[in-house]
Amino acid sequence: MTRLTVPISHPEEVEMLAAGGAGEFFCGYVPPEWLERYGGAFWLNRRGPVAGNLLQRDDVSLLAERSHARGIPVYVTFNAPYYAPEQQEFLLPLIGRLAGESGIDGVIVSDVGFLVELRRALPSLPVHASSVMASRNPGMVDFLAELGASRVIFPRSLGVDDISTLCAAAAGRLETEAFVLNEGCVFEEGYCMTTHRSVGALCVQLPDVPHRVLPLTPHAAAKLDGEDRRPAREMMGAFRDWVWFQNGCGNSVTERGIPNGPCGLCALFDLVAREAVAIRNTPEFCNAGYMCYYREKAS
């Protein structure tokens, strides 16, 4: 079954997003105890240190209650690239309470070691492998299946052909999920070891940082002229254009409030043609092999 998985930041958003077609919700949760220990220096998840997250467990419970009343599952992100042992010890009982008392349906993680510990501590809780885990080949899909993950979320950088290959590798073992909206980062999130806390996203600002072309050896320095430097300038110019495109071509949103820049919507037709078994809850029609027709006008 194909579903729209939608981020949510507050229980009050459930009704609106459900009416818009949301089939699943994912959210972040940062309890006060975490902020007391680590502040904003160590993000609990990739949604941010505080903003965009639920901060009280009662809100998580209310979100799950309202979502379940509409048949929508809720998954909570614990997808920092890694957690120290003391942080894992803090999180395991916390997640146990979220599952047992607040009613969440599963969690999204990036740290492979933490995934293993979760499967040991809470074997019945579904665990989704975050896009931050950078699952880019069938071997990684096999690995996640062996560890007991229930779903693999593909990195945003994968194309339709790559997604099709990985969906085939995951068939019958793991659910699959792909992002439609791009987050704006020009690099592979799974390999990002930096922070945006103090200086912002240095990687995005890189083309505008003063720089110069240096030779690899002193011998080459004597021969380095303007023509030799041209390929480097062209590559940096191309990179600058790419960063500009990835971040909305200088715009933030359209007049209707829709983010500019690459979003992936145009790829849905290819993805549906290759992978979808059902769009509505009528898989028996899709499996029958008959073509669907739609009226040009509503009667």
98 CB burial (10 A radius; 0-12, 13-18, 19+)? buried
Q: How many other C-beta atoms lie within 10 A of the C-beta of residue 136? A: 16
Residue 272's Cα: distance from chain center in Å?
20
Can you give the pLDDT at residue 49? 78
Give mean pLDDT, residues 172-190.
78
Question: Is residue 209 predicted with pLDDT exceeding 90?
Answer: no
Q: What pLDDT, in 10s, does the model give residues 12-36?
A: 999 999 998 899 999 999 999 999 9
- Structure-token pair, residue 221: 């320095």
Please state the three-class secondary structure of the chain as a single string.
Answer: CCCCEEECCCHHHHHHHHHCCCCEEEEEECCHHHHHHHCCCCCCCCCCCCCCEECCHHHHHHHHHHHHCCCCCEEEEECCCCCCHHHHHHHHHHHHHHHHHHCCCEEEECCHHHHHHHHHHCCCCCEEECHHHCCCCHHHHHHHHHHCCCEEECCCCCCHHHHHHHHHHHCCCCEEECCCCCCCCCCCHHHCCCCCCCCCCHHHHHHHCCCCCCCCCHHHHCCCCHHHHHHHHHHHHHHHHHHHHHCCCCCCECCCCCECCCCCHHHHHHHHHHHCCCCCCCHHHHHHCCCCCCCCCCC
Q: What pLDDT, in 10s, does the model give residues 29-81?
A: 999 999 999 887 788 998 877 888 999 999 999 999 999 999 999 999 999 99
CA 33/CA 86 separation, integer angstroms: 13
Phi, psi of 107 (to 5 degrees): -135, 160
Can you give the pLDDT at residue 296? 42
The CATH code for residues 5-188+252-288 is: 3.20.20.380
Phi, psi of 293 (to 5 degrees): -125, 150
What are the sequence ranges of the domains in the chain? 5-188+252-288, 197-246
Q: How confident is the model at residue 192 (pLDDT cuts 50, 70, 90)?
A: confident
CA 78/CA 43 separation, integer angstroms: 10
Q: What is the pTM of this model?
A: 0.76
